Chains A and B, each alone.
Chain A
Amino acid sequence: MMRAGFAGAAVRRIASTLGFMLLALVVITVIWDLSVRGLGLDSFGTPTPWRVWEWWALEPDSAEHRRVVFDALGVTVRHALSGYVVGSIVGIGLAVVFTSAPRIERASLPTVLFIQTVPILAILPLFILIFGRGDLVTTAIVALTVFFPTLVWVSQGLRSPHPTTVDLFRSLDATRTTVMIRLRFPSAVAGLFVAARLAVPGALFGAFVAEWLATGDGLGYLVVTSMQAVGGFSPLWAAVSATTLLTMIAYVAVEIVEAIALARYDPDQLAAH
């Protein structure tokens, strides 16, 4: 049951994000065009936005060009998605465990913080050594990137119900499991999406970097190969643009799914942002 006021707030917020992203896209494209022509970069082969558009849509080979980019995009999405699912499951699972057993949390916290202080992507070669160069390494990298924000924010959400509400549940003879499922989980939905705002772009970036170094497929690798510009840099810029647009679309998608989920589970949070 969606209350009209809250739905309005959510729609306004999504529209505002979309609006700013489009504005930023326009600004960036203009700066891009002006710098290339103003700084004379086109003599180095740096394409203007129009040149990339020609490569994308107007040349006889354009359909083939588009296919290459979309194929790579699909691979990257697959990598990011599998890692996101694994990382979220682990993050949510640990959050539930930590909320149910504070002693385990206290003991594990230093280890968790330690893992997080080390930039995973920096020690990527080690992951390649251990996990090889296939889908396993990308899933591992992305999962590690996604897991910490998810753990932090879902824990926050699980703990947010007021103690008086918990007492109410207990007074009605609810078991701890019931409290967890009926009370804490809905409160954690908001937290999951706060984490998703960081984790989804993070997952895409992690997949991108893992592809760059390890797997030899996907948008990351496409950028690497197109850096050895055989026919000009248009493929490189197209691949970079595709990655950027993909991340933006994913972010907006998160906000939309969040609005739907919160409308169902936690309508008060819809207006709270």
Chain B
Amino acid sequence: MMAAGTRDRFVVGALVVGLIVAWEVASRAGVIDPYVMAEPSQIVAGLWEDRDLYLSNSLATLRVAAIGYVVGQAIALALAFVLSMSSALELVVTKLALVVYCLPTLAIAPILGTIVGLDGTRVAVVAIVVFFPTLLSTTSGLRAVTADQRSLVRSLGGGRVMVLRKIAFRSALPQIFAGLKLGVPGAVLGAIASEWLGASSGLGIFMVNSLAYLQPLRVWGTCVVLVAGTLVLYWLVGLADRKVNGWSEPMAGSTA
């Protein structure tokens, strides 16, 4: 007898499989437009056939996403640590960052292009997209140091930096990783969107071109590759999260 939770997931899984099968049948029968809703079997076949194209484009996108991700997260983390020293400064910078969030990143990209060149712009777009969530979650995590913990460090002769290093950083790790995880879809999105500005290769521009050249199979294929890739990356960061934070209780306000 399966547990209720497992049984429910099994039902959902079966529903998804059923949906795909129904899709295949309906497409073959012409019930749904087979041009737009290509048959799943054809999508898979196309993926195999064009595997070189998908690989090279994926690597191009991944390169930009990875560099931008590292840059954006590094700046966000560094800034969050600096800000945790002064709550007034933190308030001001957070509100200013809110304004940057309102800026349409994609629209200022051409403007950035004249200053840092095309590649630099693509990395910058990704960095901006991942920056804000990590900044928010890290500052929030660093703030979670309790007064008792602070007094303890002070009584042992430590200053603000010592509190930061010894306690705040460790307590904030779960929140930091939450920001790191959130940054993955953001980085992928930023990399893809920046390709629309005129890159020569990458999954984003490949998908747009496939649409323009009336190749719906490739549009679907790119979509599958993108979704699978994003999930894999997200899962990888999740692994790191569990490894680093496996010890922590998932409750707010717990003391180490």
Does chain A bind chain B? yes
Given contacts A118-B227, A122-B188, contact A110 B102 (CB under 8 A): no
Contacts of A121 in B (CB 8 A): 189, 192-193
Interface residues of B in 52-73 (CB under 8 A from A): none
B234 part of interface (Cβ distance < 8 Å) = yes
Considering the complex, give the chain B residue whose CB is closest to the CB of A121.
B189
Contacts of A208 in B (CB 8 A): 104, 106-107
Contacts of A205 in B (CB 8 A): 104
Contact partner, A118, options B9, B95, B107, B230, Cβ 8 Å: B230
Q: Which of A16-24, A67-75, A86-94, A256-264 lies on the face that meets chain B?
A: A16-24
Query: A residues engaging B (CB < 8 A)?
Result: 16-17, 20-21, 23-25, 27-28, 35, 39, 41, 44, 46, 103, 106-108, 110-111, 114, 116-119, 121-123, 125-126, 128-130, 201, 205, 208-209, 212-213, 223, 227, 236-237, 239-240, 243-244, 247-248, 251
Closest CB of chain B to A234's CB: distance in Å?
A: 13
Contacts of B5 in A (CB 8 A): 106
Cα distance, A223 to B109, chains bound together (Å): 11
Contacts of A125 in B (CB 8 A): 207-208, 210-211, 219, 222
Contacts of B110 in A (CB 8 A): 227, 236
The A interface is mostly helix, strand or loop, or mixed, namely helix
Considering the complex, give the chain B residue whose CB is closest to the CB of A111.
B12
Cβ-defined contact, A244 with B186, below 8 A: no
Contacts of A244 in B (CB 8 A): 102-104
Given contacts A117-B185, A119-B186, A126-B223, contact A108 B12 (CB under 8 A): yes
Cα distance, A24 to B101, chains bound together (Å): 12
B82 part of interface (Cβ distance < 8 Å) = no
Cα distance, A201 to B132, chains bound together (Å): 14
Cβ-defined contact, B12 with A110, below 8 A: yes
Cβ-defined contact, A129 with B211, below 8 A: yes
